[in-house]
């Protein structure tokens, strides 16, 4: 598996395909159309590789940054820029992924642009709905993954306990051990 899905929310997991975006050299997880195809199939959006090309990859990266810009604005409590909102709405108006019922169950097929339109629609739902109040950014300084905090007290700090939460807690434990020895 090439990609991680720590959020359980596809538009936000898609934003996470640029890892550590505030670092001097962020890690790009979508450097090729083939890895965009892999993201679509690994996420479950498609059962069959959509066959993305360079233009689809460029559109995907633009959409990812557009969603991040709007999420960051929402997190900062800012009014969302009209131009960015209009751009997201245009993308959300695209054709949906084709979902069919067949003898083997449900199948999801379509083009990369249909997948991107689905991600844009999901982002519209989050940003414009009640879930927008649950948006958070991971508290681990090196991580910039955004997620929805559905925890009981809405006090979740990390995108995923398995990765970032474990690293932060381990680092804090080691720091306590070092200071106790001093």
Q: What pLDDT does 172 receive?
A: 60
* Any domain includes 170: no
Mean residue pLDDT of the chain comes to: 90
**For the whole model, what pTM was predicted?**
0.87
Number of separate domains in the chain: 1
CB 17 within 8 A of CB 64: yes
Q: Averaged over 69-78, what is the pLDDT?
A: 96
* Any domain includes 164: no
* Any domain includes 50: yes
* Any domain includes 60: yes
CATH of the domain at 33: 1.10.3300.10
* Any domain includes 112: yes
Beta-bridge partners for 102: 105
Percentage of the chain exceeding pLDDT 90: 68
Domain with 124 in it: 10-133
CB 3 within 8 A of CB 44: no
CA distance linking residue 143 with residue 174, whole number of Å? 20
Q: Per the structure block, which two tokens stand in for 107?
A: 């199948």
- Tens-place pLDDT, residues 113-137: 999 999 999 999 999 999 999 999 9
Tell me the HSE value of 18 on the side-chain side, using a 13 A CA sphere: 18
* Any domain includes 169: no
């Amino acid at each position: 598996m090439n990609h991680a899905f720590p959020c359980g929310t596809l538009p936000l997991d898609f934003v996470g395909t640029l890892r550590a975006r505030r670092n001097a050299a962020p890690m790009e997880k979508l450097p090729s159309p083939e890895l965009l195809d892999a993201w679509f199939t690994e996420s479950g959006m498609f059962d069959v590789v959509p066959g993305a090309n360079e233009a689809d990859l460029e559109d995907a990266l633009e959409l990812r940054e557009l969603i991040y810009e709007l999420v960051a604005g929402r997190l900062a409590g800012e009014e969302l820029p009209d131009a960015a909102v209009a751009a997201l709405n245009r993308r959300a108006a695209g054709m949906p992924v084709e979902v069919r019922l067949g003898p083997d169950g449900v199948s999801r097929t379509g083009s990369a642009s249909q997948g991107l339109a689905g991600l844009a629609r999901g982002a519209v739902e989050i940003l414009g709905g009640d879930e927008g109040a649950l948006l958070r950014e991971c508290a681990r300084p090196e991580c910039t993954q955004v997620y929805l905090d559905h925890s009981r007290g809405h006090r979740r700090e990390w995108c995923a306990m398995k990765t970032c939460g474990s690293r932060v807690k381990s680092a804090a434990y080691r720091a306590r051990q070092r200071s106790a020895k001093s």
